Every structure is written in C-alpha cells, then in structure tokens.
C-alpha cells in the first residue's frame, strides 16, 4: 500500500513509511486510499484484542500476510498487559471509561509502543535492510519508558532516551534509570524537554543517513509522527465499540462519542482513522488542559502557538505544537498538500495560521473541543471518586470534565472517555485531589494513595524504588550529538 506525504506527492510503501517515520519534505505519511479502506465492526464482534489488531493492522500495512501479522501482534501483546482484554472498557456513571493504561509502564503509550518495535523489525527484514536501527527519543516522561519497554533486547535495534534532568517525576525517573536490557541507554540532559527534543532533531539532521550507514547504523524515531505508532491505536476504538455492543449498552450501528485527553493529537487522530474505516463514531471530543491551543483552534479555525506555555498537573498534555494535527488538516482538506505545506510554513515562520471556511466546516462536523484548568482537574478527580468510586489520573480527569460540559450541550449518543494513565503515575496530584497531604517521597505517596483508596498499585510501579539504578549519565544539553556518535561507535 502507498503512503503519501502531507506536503507533496512524495510517496513510499507502508514498510518504508514505518522505517522512515517522517517524509523527507518534513511532511507526515498517510495511506493514499484511506477512504477506500474498510473494517466493519460487525466482522470483529466476538474477536479478541489481538485478533482485531491483526485485522486492522493488515488493512493498513498490507505488505504483511495475515499469518505474519497474527504472529507479530501476539509477539507484541501476548502476556504483557495486566488485563486479559488489553484495553478494557468500564462503566462509570452513565458514561464509559476506556482504560488504556494496563500495559507494562502504566501509560497509554504502551499500546502503540508494544507494537512499533515489531513493525520496525519486520519491515526492516522485508526490505532487506541489515543496518542496526538506533531509536532516538526525547521524553518528558511517559514516552521514554514505554519506548524502552518496547525496544529493550529487540534484535537489530538499539535505543537511547534523553530526559530533562529534574524535569520528570520521581516515579518516571525511577522507571527509566532502572531499565534493564542489552541495547538500552538512558541519559539525563541539563536542560528542559524542548532542549532534549531540539538536540535529538539536530542529531537527526547532522547525521544524515550516509555517514552512519558505513558504521552499519540507521537512526529512527519512536514518536507519534510514525504511522507504525498511530495504527495500533485504532484498534481500541473498535474494541471498545464492540464491547459496548456485546454488553447490550448500544446496538450495532449506533454512533458513539469518544472524549480524548489530547497533546500531540495522535490518540484522537487514531479515532478519526477508525471513523474513516467505517466505525460509527459520533463526535470526537478533543480535551485540553490549560494549554488550550487545540480548543481555540477547533472552535475558531485559528491556530496560534504564540502563547504562554503552562506546566500543569497533566504534564503529558503540555504541548503547544500538536504534530499530528497536520494529518487531520490534510484529510479534511481532501488531500490539498500545497495548502497544508503553506499552513505549516506559516506556523513555523509567523507562529499562526487560519484555515479556510470549507476546511473548518469539515473539522466541525467531526470534532468538538473543551479545556479544563488545574483546579478543575483536581476537583474532577475528587468528584469522580466520591460519586462513582472511580479513581482516575489527572489526564483522564481533564477528559472527564470536558465530557461533562460536552454532554451538557446535548447529545443522543453514549460517550466513551479514554483513560491514558494509571493514577499511580501521578500520585501526588491525585492524593492531593482527595484532600490528603502527600508525603515528600513519591513512593510513600503511592502507599498513602493505596491506603486511602484500596485501588491496587500496578505491579511495574510497586517496588520500583528497590530496583538497582543502571543509568546515571548526565550531559550538557549541547552534547547530544557527540553522545549519540560515541554510542554508535561503541
Ligand atoms: C501522551 C499522552 C497523552 C496525549 O496523547 P497524544 O496522542 O499526544 O494526544 C495524554 N495522556 C497521557 C498520560 C499521555 O502519556
């Protein structure tokens, strides 16, 4: 199947799209005939998560045979999630919560980052590429650990994760610096997340492919610009829908709204892909925290990144430039790549763009949006716990709050809220929301939260502070390139 850039007619097959991550013109890859592809929810009824994943992923990456994809999906997910369904949907009040945090690192990124290493390894084999793939990742916390968990000990790959020294939570840091594996490197940089991200981008630019190829290495990325990371996220929209039909909560064919806590627009875009493939999706509701650039865009048509960046209690959504929105604009404009390239140029150079009326109208047909500040987030955690006995993390709480406002405006459809992290990944905020004074040590706070709520601590987080620290490197923010070159030569 062909994948085309959002900024030109440049196209490659799906295997190359997975390996390259981003197109050479700076655009993002999309399947050229997304609107002609179809996956019927009725055909997936009664199937397991893995069976659904195999069907959906093969629809998007048809270079793989059914047999190959079935084996790959099993390798990615088999026995790795704490719940048998991988992504269970639970009823909370009159709504439903789709729990995406039951994986090895307790964040929703596990769903995609369990599958990406398998897709990369197999794409590489099919293309006859023999170089080692070195994954470079800058992280503000969740992606780094999920990527390490996905790539550790995967043959023919290596991974280096850079995180801001002092810029991640104690739990997130412990998750990364205790990572085992013969191909993993974790390094702190003296700087913030943007410095880490810029350093990694500059390293990609400075290395080009050629000079590393002689050393038998190819660089690649694990972030959500890669189609290999987006595609596995489509699966849980179908899974949740089929679960609601099976539980008699809806009838097959009924439309369902999905409310998505959003940062880089990857998760919610996967919902749009599901809709394109034929899933009966009502509205996709984009939930933002105080960094409400997407709420403004989806209600006015004007995207303006020139605003104050807020550090919030839902840090994984603290983002002002949502990369995957570019894909949505391309699709909503009917593939007008010249227009999209223009908007992206304006975003880069001026810091804003306004989409034309037709495009805006098309976005509004599919999307609704809302935002929620930090106080409201905490109040929502408390309210959801007190009213329904359901404990949610800060990111999920943003979505729960936005869902309430969305429903108050009126909808006939049932509403599913995507839950993206375990409350134990952000225990200080969650415990404070319940009105208790958190201890200084975050691991002690986890125990306080358990004592208060009896919600079990996920296995991977319990006992993390007893594990040996394996990674202690700290480097200046401008040394990322040198550091990578040294690792590559080692
Ligand atoms: C990454 C992340 C998000 C945002 O997802 P996007 O695909 O970037 O929109 C939301 N919540 C949590 C906990 C995350 O880790």
> Ligand 1, from 113, 263, 371: best to mutate by most atoms within 8 Å of Cβ?
263
**Could you tell me whether strands 157-164 and 367-371 are parallel, antiparallel, or unpaired per DSSP bridges?**
unpaired
Q: Which residue has the tokens 């999209």?
A: 340
> What is the distance between the alpha carbons of residues 140 and 163, in angstroms, rounded to a whole number?
6
**Rounded distance between C-alpha atoms, residue 131 and residue 212, angstroms:** 9
Residue 210 pLDDT = 57
Q: Which phi and psi angles does 87 have, rounded to 5°?
A: -130, 80
Please give the number of the atom of ligand 1 that sits closest to the Cα of 141: 15
Give CA–CA dist 224/27, Å, rounded.
Answer: 13
The predicted pLDDT at position 168 comes to 87
87 Cα to the center of ligand 1, angstroms: 16
Nearest atom (ligand 1) to Cα of 425: 13
Protein residue with its CA nearest to atom 1 in ligand 1: 316
**pLDDT value, residue 141:** 80
Atom of ligand 1 nearest to the CA of 264: 8
Q: What is the mean pLDDT of each run of 10 residues along the chain (490 residues)?
A: 94 92 87 93 98 98 97 96 95 98 96 96 94 90 92 95 90 95 96 84 76 83 87 98 98 98 95 97 97 96 92 89 92 94 93 96 97 98 98 98 97 97 96 97 96 96 92 96 89
Nearest by Cα to 238 from 452, 85, 460 = 85
| Burial letters 75-105, b for 16+ CB under 10 A, else e | bbbeeebbeeebbbbeebeebbbbbbbbbbb
Asked about 109 being catalytic, the answer comes back as: yes
For the CA of 319, the nearest atom of ligand 1: 8
Q: From residue 2, give the alpha-carbon distance in Å to each of 20, 60, 275, 442.
A: 14, 10, 20, 47
| 256 C-alpha to ligand 1 centroid (Å) | 21
CA of 130 to the centre of ligand 1 (A): 33
Judging by beta carbons within 10 Å of its beta carbon (0-12, 13-18, 19+), is residue 445 exposed, middle or buried? buried
Q: Which atom of ligand 1 is nearest to the CA of 233?
A: 7
CA 397 to ligand 1 centroid distance, Å: 13
Task: Please give the pLDDT value at position 209.
Answer: 58
Length of the chain: 490
Protein residue with least CA distance to atom 14, ligand 1 = 316
Ramachandran area for residue 405 (φ above 0: left; ψ -120 to 50: alpha; else beta):
alpha
Q: Report the residue among 112, 318, 394, 395 best suited for mutation to probe ligand 1: largest number of ligand atoms under 8 A from its CB.
A: 395
- Site to probe by mutation for ligand 1, drawn from 140, 146, 420, 425 as the one with most ligand atoms within 8 Å of Cβ, is 420
| pLDDT at residue 169 in the model | 84
Q: Which residue out of 40, 47, 80, 109 is catalytically annotated?
A: 109
**Pocket of ligand 1, beta carbon within 6 A:** 107-109, 142, 224, 261-267, 316-317, 395, 420-421
pLDDT at 399: 98
């Amino acid at each position: 199947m062909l994948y085309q850039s959002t900024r030109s007619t440049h196209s490659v097959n799906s295997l190359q799209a997975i390996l390259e991550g981003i197109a050479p013109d700076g655009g993002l890859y999309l399947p050229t005939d997304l609107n002609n592809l179809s996956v019927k929810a009725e055909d997936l009824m009664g199937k397991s998560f893995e069976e659904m994943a195999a069907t959906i992923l093969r629809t998007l990456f048809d270079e793989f045979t059914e047999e190959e994809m079935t084996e790959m999906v099993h390798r990615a997910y088999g026995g790795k999630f704490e719940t048998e369904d991988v992504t269970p949907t639970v009823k909370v009040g009159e709504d439903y919560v789709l729990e995406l945090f039951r994986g090895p690192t307790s964040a929703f990124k596990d769903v995609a980052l369990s599958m990406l290493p398998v897709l990369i390894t197999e794409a590489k084999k099919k293309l006859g590429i023999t170089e080692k793939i070195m994954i470079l990742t800058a992280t503000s916390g969740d992606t780094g650990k999920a990527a390490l968990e996905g790539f550790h000990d995967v043959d023919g790959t290596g991974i280096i994760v850079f995180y801001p020294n002092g810029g991640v939570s104690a739990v997130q840091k412990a998750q990364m610096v205790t990572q085992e594996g013969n191909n993993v490197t974790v390094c702190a940089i003296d700087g913030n997340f943007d410095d880490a991200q810029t350093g990694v981008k500059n390293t990609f630019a400075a290395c080009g492919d050629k000079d590393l190829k002689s050393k038998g290495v190819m660089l690649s990325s694990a972030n959500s610009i890669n189609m290999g990371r987006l595609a596995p996220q489509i699966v849980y929209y179908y899974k949740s829908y089929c679960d609601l039909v099976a539980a008699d909560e809806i009838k097959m064919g009924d439309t369902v709204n999905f409310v998505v806590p959003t940062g880089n627009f990857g998760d919610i875009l996967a919902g749009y892909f599901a809709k394109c493939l034929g899933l009966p999706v009502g509205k996709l509701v984009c939930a933002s925290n105080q960094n409400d650039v997407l709420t403004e865009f989806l209600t006015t048509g004007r995207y303006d990144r020139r605003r104050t960046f807020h550090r919030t209690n839902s840090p994984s959504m603290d983002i002002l430039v949502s990369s995957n929105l570019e894909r949505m604009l391309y699709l909503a404009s009917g593939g007008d790549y010249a227009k999209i390239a223009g908007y992206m140029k304006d975003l880069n150079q001026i810091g804003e763009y306004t989409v034309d009326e037709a495009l805006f109208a098309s976005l509004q047909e599919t999307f609704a949006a809302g935002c929620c500040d930090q106080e409201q987030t905490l109040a929502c955690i408390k309210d959801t716990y007190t009213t329904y006995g359901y404990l949610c993390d800060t990111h999920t709480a943003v979505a729960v709050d936005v869902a309430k406002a969305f429903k108050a405006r009126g909808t006939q459809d049932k509403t599913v809220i995507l839950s993206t992290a375990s409350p134990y990944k952000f225990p200080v905020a969650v415990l404070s929301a319940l009105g208790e004074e958190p201890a200084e040590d975050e691991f002690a706070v986890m125990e306080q939260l358990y004592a208060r709520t009896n919600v079990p601590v996920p296995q991977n987080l319990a006992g993390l502070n007893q594990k040996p620290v394996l990674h202690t490197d700290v480097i200046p923010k401008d040394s990322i390139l040198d550091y990578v070159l040294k690792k590559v030569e080692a």
